Amino acid sequence: MELVTVFSTFSPAEAQLVRSRLEAAGIPANVIHETASLSIEGYSVAAGGIEVQVAGDRSEEAKALLADAQEPPPAAGA
């Protein structure tokens, strides 16, 4: 099974939050490079950062879910 990176960050907490969000939507996800990184003031420095990966056939669905989560809610009365 091919894994595809759908999110990258230098924050372990943010990576785990994204993984949890994906799994709550029924998309199995893995966090990689988290333990191989150096922590500096709560952030991790690793080659390319910490990545959240999903199966290739679920990557578009995962990216869409994460993109929707980044959109601000509509203004009241709009």
Q: Determine the Cα–Cα distance for residues 17 and 44; give it in Å rounded to an integer.
A: 15
Q: Which residues lie below 8 Å from residue 43, measured CB to CB, with a gap of 6+?
A: 10, 11
* pLDDT of amino acid 49: 80
Q: Which residues of the chain have pLDDT under 70?
A: 36-48, 71-78
Q: Which domains does the chain have, with CATH numbers?
A: 3-70 (3.30.70.790)
Write the DSSP assignment of 2-33 as a string of letters: -EEEEEEES-HHHHHHHHHHHHHTT--EEEES
Report pTM. Answer: 0.78
* pLDDT of amino acid 10: 82
Q: Determine the Cα–Cα distance for residues 34 and 49; give it in Å rounded to an integer.
A: 8
For 65-78, how does the pLDDT look when each residue is reduced to its tens digit (9 = 90+)? 999 887 666 666 65
